[in-house]
Structure 1
Amino acid sequence: MEERKYLATWKKYIPVIRLHLKKSINESQEFKLNFTDFESAGNSGRSGYTFNMLMENGKVVNNISGSAVARDLYEALTSDEVSRAFLQDRSVKMSVGKSFLLSIKTTHISKFK
């Protein structure tokens, strides 16, 4: 299995993702991804390019092991200093559906758990 085949693609999107992460504090964000960017990076197999990823305090809390696209997005986010700092003390849900929209929803994590 080829590893990190979508990492370079996600790194191209990091500046746009950063902008949408910041805006997602006030309201959920969506933006269209370019299907051909991902298609040329590699065949996604049965799972397609769809995924749901939930991060709390910068750590993934759901199972994304079956999605190379999600794993590589997480690696791109955590290797970017600005994105990594943003993810702290927040709950961020990112998902891509069949329409190839990246959705981002952010909430603050209560310190009083």
Structure 2
Amino acid sequence: MEERKYLTTWRKYIPVIRLHLKRSLNEDQSFKLNITDFESAGDRGKSGYTFSLSMENGKVINNISGSAVARDLYEALRTDDAIKEMIQDKNVKISVGKTFVFSIKTTHVSAYK
């Protein structure tokens, strides 16, 4: 298995993700990804590119070990300083569905735990 094959693709999307992440503090955001960007990076076949990535305080809180696409996205996010700062003290849920729509839902972490 080739490691990090989607990292370059996700890094191309970082400026767009950054913008939507900022906007997601006020309302849920979504935008369409270009499927050919991902198909040229690696063929996922029938399993597709769908995933859900949940983060709290910048740390993954769900299991993404089975999804190279999600793992590489997280790597791209956590290595971007602006995004790293934006996701502190937040719950961020990112998902990509079968229609290749990238969705971001952000809420503030409750101080009452």
TM-score range, shorter chain: over 0.9
Per-residue Cα deviation, 1:63-94 (whole angstroms, up to 9, x for no partner): 00000000000000001000111111000000
1:94 to 2:99 alignment: no
> Is the 8 Å Cα contact of residues 55 and 93 (structure 1) preserved in structure 2?
yes
- Once residues 79 and 85 of structure 1 are traced to their aligned partners in structure 2, the CA distance between those partners, rounded to angstroms, is 11
Where do 5+ consecutive residues of structure 1 fail to align? Answer: none
> 1:25-64 CA distances to partner (integer Å, 9 max, x unpaired)?
0100000000000000011245310001100000000000
Q: Which amino acid aligns with 2:47?
A: S
Does residue 27 of structure 1 match 2:27?
A: yes
Q: Work out the number of aligned pairs and report it.
A: 113
Q: Partner residue of 2:109?
A: 109
Q: Which runs of 5+ in 2 are unaligned?
A: none
2:55 corresponds to: 55
Larger deviation, residues 38-47 vs 48-57: 38-47
Give the letter for the 2:21 counterpart. Answer: L
What TM-score, normalized by structure 1, do the two folds share? 0.97
Q: 1:112, CA displacement in angstroms? A: 2.0
Q: Percent identity over the alignment?
A: 72
Match of 1:43, SS?
Answer: coil
In 2: Cα distance, 1:98 partner to 1:48 partner: 7
Say if 1:47 and 1:67, in contact at 8 Å, map to a contact too.
no
Runs of 4+ in 1 over 4 A off after TM superposition: none
Match of 2:64, SS state, is coil
